Amino acid sequence: MTLLTILDLSINNLCGTIPTQMQYLTQLESLSLSVNLLTGEIPSDIWKSKDSLTFIDLSLNEFYGNIPD
């Protein structure tokens, strides 16, 4: 799955936190996790190697804390 470029898991009733395994999606360009039941802080370390990530939608979840750079 390291070659995956688009991941849309919106409106899936996902719950819990964003999995740390997201760090292995190194070619990811677009990520939508909107309209779910995700909670916790948005982890900063899993986005560090995402130079290709140009779109991200985390809206309508229950995240808290700061948005990572």
Cβ-count burial of 23 within 10 angstroms (0-12 exposed, 13-18 middle, 19+ buried)?
Answer: middle
For the record, the structure tokens of 27 come out as 């070619």
pLDDT at res. 49: 64
pLDDT at res. 55: 93
pLDDT at res. 40: 95
pLDDT at res. 17: 96
pLDDT at res. 1: 66
pLDDT along the chain (69 residues), means of 10: 90 95 89 97 78 92 88
pLDDT at res. 47: 74
Rounded to two decimals, what is the model's pTM?
0.87
